[in-house]
Amino acid sequence: MLLISENILIRPRTTLLIIALLVLGCSGPADDDSARERASIVTNQWGMDFVLIPASGNGWKEHCESHNILFQPISSFYMQRSELSRMEFAAAFPDNPHVNLLNEVHPSQTIPSWIDAVRLAHTLSANDSVYEYRLPSVSEWRYAYYLIQKGATAGIADMAGENWEFAVKDRMPTTEAARNEHDPSLQSQSFVLTGSPPDYERSTFAQYASPTPVTGDDAIDEYTGVRLVLVPNLADAP
How do the domains of the chain map onto residue ranges? 14-232
Task: Name the E strands within 62-220.
Answer: 77-80, 131-134, 164-168, 190-193, 209-211
Cα(227)–Cα(180) distance, integer angstroms? 23
Residues 6+ apart with CB under 8 A from 182: none
Antiparallel, parallel or unpaired: β 224-225 and 164-168: parallel
The pLDDT tens digits of the residues spanning 176-222 come to 888 887 777 787 788 777 776 544 443 223 333 344 555 554 444 56
Cβ contact 197:165 at 8 Å: no
C-alpha to C-alpha distance for 65 and 187, rounded to whole angstroms = 28
103 compared with 126, residue with greater pLDDT: 126
| Residue 237: pLDDT band with limits 50, 70, 90 | very low
Is the Cβ–Cβ distance between 14 and 130 less than 8 Å? Answer: yes
Q: In the predicted model, what is the mean pLDDT of residues 114-137?
A: 93
Model pTM score:
0.74
73-108 pLDDT, tens per residue?
999 999 999 999 888 998 998 887 767 777 677 776
What is the model's pLDDT at position 170? Answer: 86
**Per-residue pLDDT at 215:** 52
Better pLDDT: 89 or 15: 89
Q: Inter-axis angle of helices 138-149 and 58-66, to 10 degrees?
A: 100
What is the third-level CATH fold of 14-232? paralog of FGE (formylglycine-generating enzyme) (3.90.1580)
- What mean pLDDT, rounded, does the chain reach? 73
Tell me the pairing of strands 77-80 and 229-232: antiparallel
Residue 143 has pLDDT above 70, yes or no: yes
**227 within 8 A of 163, measured Cβ to Cβ:** no
DSSP E strands: which ranges in 29-186? Answer: 41-43, 49-53, 77-80, 131-134, 164-168
Cα(105)–Cα(122) distance, rounded to whole angstroms?
A: 23
User: How confident is residue 49, by pLDDT bands cut at 50, 70 and 90?
Assistant: very high
What are the C-alpha distances in Å from 153 to residues 57, 62, 110, 229? Answer: 14, 18, 29, 16
| 54-73 residue pLDDT tens | 999 999 999 989 888 889 99
